Structure 1
Amino acid sequence: MNLLVWLEPWEFSPTVVVAVVLTAVLFARGVSKAKVSIARQLSFWFGLIALYVALHTRLDYFFEHEFFMHRAQHLVLHHLGPFFIALSYPGAAIRAGIPFSWRQRFVRPVLQTRVVRATLDVVMHPVVAVVLFVGLIYFWLLSPVHFVAMLDWRLYRVMNWSMVIDGLLFWWLVLDSRAAPPARLSPGRRVLIVIAAIPPQILLGAFIFFSSHELYPVYSICGRAFTWLSPMRDQQIGGLLVWIPGSMMSVIGALIALRHWMRLSGRGRLRDGRKAPAKAANPAHSRASPAGQP
């Protein structure tokens, strides 16, 4: 069989094609201007291709007809793909790839609107970021919600895109290599939020794995791609994918965030909140002393 056949979409989606092609073109245009290293380029292309494969190939048939394949898909959409895209730090390259007149006329005004800024402030708040990252996994795996999402193609696409967007926002927040500011969070908080996302994933994966009954009968009703795999075995493998690889990705993210923290600390680029008030108080004290002298 021709392997290229697997790259054909199971269900064509113009949204996926436009989003992937536009992102690829902007990054390719901006690479030379932003001087992106080969390692970062490889990380970006790996992440983008992984998202495309998980969204727009014949594998989508298996994602819709086996629970463990569905969990593998979301592992790519929510963890692997966004992780490697964020790890490539593509912001400067993508920005450089946008024509200057477009940035001035469209991009900058939109990003500076009150609605966009307020939305980003909310979704990228550390507590909200963790709740969204873990909460979306739980929400789409609620049995009644999952049943409807796998039957309604519109809700199915909303589910997949919500995982992609949230994954990009979360990993962008965690893997930011800069000090704060300009980064939204300090290095220490970036380590904490990704660690906070680990226990809920372990609990959910363990619950699915050890469950004594079938939680997601939609796959049996619609027909399974692998008839030789029992429903309970399929569910156990899916639970393991939530439990182990998902948690391990968070551990790797925490280690990278910790590395950034140590690097910034070694270069003296972390703000010390204790020293700033002291420095501000000393001049006032020195000015007041002469006035109080007899």
Structure 2
Amino acid sequence: MSSEPDDPEVAARMRRAHTVACGFFGAARDARASDGGPQEVWGWRGRTLGRPVTGPYGPGWLRVAHSPADEASGKLWTGPEDAERLVPQQIPRPCLRLVRQWTEKEDAYRAELYDHVTGGPLSPTPVLAATPRLITAWWDDLRTALDRLSAVRTDRTAVRQAYLDRAMPKYLAFLGGSVPTTPPAWSTAHGDLHWANLAGPELGILDWEGWGTAPAGYDAALLYAYSLTMPETAERVRRELSTVLDSDAGRFAELVVITELLQSADRGDNLELLPALRQRAREVWHQMTADG
């Protein structure tokens, strides 16, 4: 989840597209939704826009994605629909009911109508700003969901080996050693498991655009990294997901995630995480070299 795009033309275009999508689905914006969820959710730099609606399946969530027409294909474009077909329903997430694509000159749009999720995201942004109050059952359900997801067979890719070979030496050079770039193991991951993509008080995992294979432990490592500004929550994540994070695979996954977030800081994103990410990279590297 991101803020409204700075460019007012982008915001206006996406809102118009959302209105068009409502017409396709016979849905209407539900401005009366009163369960505490957000009324409008933007994706990175205005690429997506989601709003609560009422429609043929009752209360729902209508999300519209934009792409240049000549790039409207591939992993991010088909991820939610692939997840609906291939990811077991026991992994809690809103059901994807309807999909519609259309083009307007050089712009392509994809509308997705989901079931309503009670409570909504646990944070308005990926980086945690307030401590979520979660019961033990929520954490139990998260561990079970990640275990089940890791075993899903897919040819989708969330993180590529070529990226690790290129990016890890560059962004982890400050560690002063020869950082390995080949993970101990691979498994299937959500690929964007941060606090804005997790719902509560009942667990729901949102936004399945980028799911696919990644270094084992990737989801746990990403959630931990996005918690570093809130030490109490970060410690809870480490404790609840210790089986994954305190393994060789988990430590490697942490370095992968830190690499990605340091790279994103070059684009001006996640700047508040920088000091904690660098410190955590040093701690993980010390553990890895001490174990070796």
* Structure with greater strand share of residues: 2
Normalising by structure 1, what TM-score?
0.30
* Structure with greater helix share of residues: 1
Normalising by structure 2, what TM-score?
0.31
Larger Rg: 1
Higher-RCO chain (CA-CA 8 Å, sequence separation at least 6): 1
